Amino acid sequence: MNAEQAIFAVAGPICLIAAASAVTRRDPLSGALSLTVTLFSLAVLFLGLGAPFLAGVQVAVYGGAIMVLLIFVIMLLGVSHADLPRLRRPALQLAGPLIAAGLFTVLAVAILRSELPPASSDALPDDNVAAIADVLFGRYLFAFEAASVLLLAALVGAVVVARKRSTEREWPGRR
């Protein structure tokens, strides 16, 4: 058993169990914390796949920034156990496992029946970060710049959407 197989054998099941917990917990905070475990185990899988840069990005951006934002909002909205959403759609709750099983069956059959083109014989360069920088700031430079514009637009959009409306002051009765 080489290092990659050992990483997959340990991080894979952790990832799966945490993901199942993330979607089945009724408390959004437990769900978000379970998702954080999933994200970290995915970062470990990325390390096993020879992508240390992405593992770092995954921990810093996903496990750090995005999950902190999500948990911050969950705390801000003050989700208490009393007002957890009721299971008003029991049929849909039953459908959850069926949807997951059905979709996974379709995907698994597609993956196992399709013949992937043979793997490349050469390995990824060891100097991963420098090589990624070459690709990112070369072939994908336009996409990189577009992503920065997207982030700015999202930043402004989030502030505009989430701020208190001035109309609420003008028409206090309007909801």
Partner 1 sequence: MPTEAYLLLGGLLFALGAAGVVTRTNALSVLVAVELMLNAVNLTFVAAARRYAQLDGGVVAFFVITVAAAEVAVGLGIVIDVARRTASVDVDEASELRG
User: Rounded to an integer, what distance in angstroms lies between the CA atom of residue 109 and that of residue 102?
Assistant: 11
User: Is residue 49 close enough to count as binding partner 1 by CB under 8 A?
Assistant: yes
User: Is residue 38 close enough to count as binding partner 1 by CB under 8 A?
Assistant: yes
What 8-state DSSP symbol labels residue 124?
Answer: P
User: Is residue 96 close enough to count as binding partner 1 by CB under 8 A?
Assistant: yes
Closest to 27 in 3D by CA, of 71, 89, 63? 71
CB of 124 to partner 1, least distance (A): 5
Q: Which amino acid is at 164?
A: K
User: Is residue 16 close enough to count as binding partner 1 by CB under 8 A?
Assistant: yes
Which residues ranging from 121 to 160 are in contact with partner 1 (CB under 8 A)?
122-125, 128, 131-132, 135-136, 139-140, 143, 147, 150-151, 153-155, 157-160
Euclidean distance between the first and the last CA atom of the chain, given in angstroms as a whole number? 62
Residue among 37, 104, 127, 169 that touches partner 1 (CB under 8 A): 104
Give the residue with the Cβ less far from partner 1, 160 or 172. 160
Give the residue with the Cβ less far from partner 1, 45 or 171. 45
Closest to 22 in 3D by CA, of 67, 73, 76, 86? 67
Residue among 8, 10, 14, 37 that touches partner 1 (CB under 8 A): 8
Phi-psi region of 124 (alpha: psi -120 to 50; beta: other; left: phi over 0): beta
Residue among 81, 99, 166, 171 that touches partner 1 (CB under 8 A): 99
Token pair in block for residue 66:
């995005």
